[in-house]
A and B are shown apart, each in its own frame.
Chain A
Amino acid sequence: MRRGSHAAQQRLTPQQAAARQATAQLSQALPTLDIDDMPQTMGTPVITFDHVTKVYPAQPNKPALNDISLQIYAGEFVFLVGHSGSGKSTFIRMLIREIKPTKGKIYVADEDLSTMRNWRVPYLRRNIGCVFQDFKLLPNKTVFENVAFALEVIGKSRHVIKTQVPEVLRLVGLQDKLNKRPDQLSGGEQQRVSIARAIVNRPPLLICDEPTGNLDPQTSRGIMDLLERINRTGTTVLVATHDREMVDNMRRRVIALDRGHLTRDQDRGVYGFDV
């Protein structure tokens, strides 16, 4: 299964080839963000895990994460892989400080999350975009309103909302569907809306928890394409996934977790678990 994308392209069925071509066209249609607009902080760690252990009270003998130490640098594109129950979600929930580590320290952009005051947490989350498997869109709001909501509730002015929301929706390729409701969109489109909402505030870090978890392979590729594009603008992207093909094709840094242990941390890695 360890083959490059070029090799893969030659062995595609016509249908798949067509889909890939469509995806490529779509990504060409997307305007690129001006890289100069983005803060360039290459070389400094955005995320640091320092001997982090998390034990849930329900399972005191089986830590969800066991002594994890790693660093993720600005501008990286990182896959976090592992089976269900390997600790991926715990990892992500600790990053946005929904839960605190039992032992060890987590730093996000030089801020220690374990000593962070509660009232500072919202300001941490403004610097982290989050995308989830279940999209978490509001069904009674339009696409535009869903994305605008993220700016509205952090107190951005109406002017900022009016300029920034259409721009980010154009970036994800939904400029024609501003007034649709989420239930009128396909799964992939809904996920694009949720990505748009995550990046509309231009956070330096984007975290995706199974972003392609319930999408078909073609749509998943489109989403990954989009994430890569966002990464190219300087945003650090962390993707938790168990989409083997995706990880193998993209050849980015892979962090593998197995039952709470960090088993592998590899640049240009592959999924690597035998299923």
Chain B
Amino acid sequence: MSSLFYFFKESLTGFTRNLSTTLGSIITIFLSLLIIGLFLVGGIIVNNIVSSVENEVSITAYVADDADQAKVDAVVEAVRSMDNVASVGFTTKEQALENFQTSNNSDIIDSLDGTNPLPASIDIELSDPQQVETVAQAIKDNADYQAVADEGDVEGSVSYGQQSIDRLFSMVNIIRYVGVALVALLIFIAFVFINNTIRLAILARRKEIAIMRLVGASNGFIRGPFLMEGALHAIIGGALAILCIELVRHFALPQVSNALVWLPVNVEFGTVLLIYAALLVAGLFIGLLGSALAMRRYLKV
């Protein structure tokens, strides 16, 4: 216990001894952890958005007004038995109008003068959003559906949001790759910086270290202050990063959320806590490993 206190005291004097490099290593750790944290939070938000969009991936197959009800039922049955289909529903013309009314301006309805231009439709929810194209093609190939398709146009009657989903997926992937590369680079820089700072601390104290070795200080005791110093850099940097992310989450995120009401831009507090813990652990890992490597090279005990 007393030696822990000694390590702490020594590492604090190490702070003042090399203030500029110490600040440098704290700031690099802070920046890299901040960017890692922002990417993690951003990633979770994007994941939420993607999954909510994925849930909305459904196929709507419009049915002609004069369709044979028996054939429509047959199509529903056929679709229900397909792979990757979660549920199949049927929306009548009247329901379609009601849905339209609730989600849109009533002026448009008024201008229709009581006529109903909306077709009835078969709504298919998918269990695997990636398979949307296959299922859509299967519906188009269905002979019964070809008979009942709205206005006889099979291609135009089956609609789904494939293109937008594809674009979203590829964009998210690109962001992920860039993020991983950036984070790796920053971790490397932080690592080098800590390594350098600890090396300077060791050089500044080499006389003391020589005496410590002479009077028989154990290796752990000699290394302790340097490990502690690396860990302290990491903890301070990590705390700053967490503070910044918390500020962003508190003040910037609600604004974004208000601006983009149709997207679910919010993160659960539990996951945020988990991210913070991960950041601290990652910072400690960088700090301890950086100083351990510096000691391996410059402190042969």
Question: Which residues of A are at the interface with B, using a C-beta cutoff of 8 A?
Answer: 96, 118-119, 122-128, 130, 136, 138, 149-150, 152-155, 157-158, 197-198, 201
Contact = CB atoms under 8 A, between A and B. Distances in A.
A201 B214 CA distance: 12
A154 B210 contact: no
Given A136-B210, A138-B207, A155-B221, A124 B216 contact: yes
Nearest to A137: B211
B173 interface: no
A138 B215 contact: no
A153 B2 contact: no
Contact of A125 (B3, B207, B208, B214): B214
Contact of B216 (A125, A138, A149, A152): A125
Interface string B200-222: 00000001101111111111011
**Which interface class (under 10, 10 to 19, 20 to 34, 35 or more) fits B?**
10 to 19
Interface of B: 2-3, 6, 207-208, 210-219, 221-222
A198 B6 CA distance: 21
Contacts of B213: 122, 125
A118 B63 CA distance: 84
A122 B213 CA distance: 7
B221 A138 contact: no
Given A119-B219, A123-B216, A126-B215, A152 B6 contact: yes
Can you list the 4 inter-chain pairs with the closest CB atoms, starting with the nearest?
A: A125-B216, A126-B216, A153-B217, A150-B215
Nearest to B205: A138
B204 to A, nearest CB: 11
Contacts of A155: 2-3, 218, 221
A155 B224 CA distance: 12
Contact of B221 (A124, A153, A198): A153
Given A136-B210, A138-B208, A153-B221, A201 B2 contact: no
Dominant secondary structure at the B interface? helix
Nearest to B212: A153
B2 to A, nearest CB: 7
Nearest to B300: A118
Contacts of A125: 213-216
Contacts of B210: 136
A126 B210 CA distance: 14
Contacts of B3: 155
Given A119-B219, A122-B218, A157 B2 contact: yes
Contacts of A152: 6
A197 B219 CA distance: 20
A118 B214 CA distance: 14
A85 B2 CA distance: 44
Nearest to B207: A138
Contacts of A138: 207-208, 211
Nearest to A124: B216
Most buried by B among A130, A153, A197: A153
B211 A122 contact: no
A197 B2 contact: no
Contact of B217 (A124, A127, A154): A154
21 contacts: A96-B214, A119-B218, A122-B213, A122-B218, A122-B219, A123-B218, A125-B214, A125-B216, A128-B216, A130-B214, A136-B207, A136-B214, A149-B208, A153-B222, A154-B216, A154-B217, A154-B221, A155-B221, A158-B2, A197-B215, A201-B216
B215 A154 contact: yes
A149 B211 contact: yes
B191 to A, nearest CB: 27
Nearest to A146: B211
A119 B219 CA distance: 7
Contacts of B207: 136, 138
A158 B40 CA distance: 47
B18 to A, nearest CB: 16
Nearest to B221: A153
A94 to B, nearest CB: 15
Contacts of A128: 216
Contacts of A122: 213, 216-219
A196 B26 CA distance: 41
A154 B222 CA distance: 10
Most buried by A among B212, B216, B222: B216
Most buried by B among A122, A150, A152, A201: A122
A163 B210 CA distance: 25
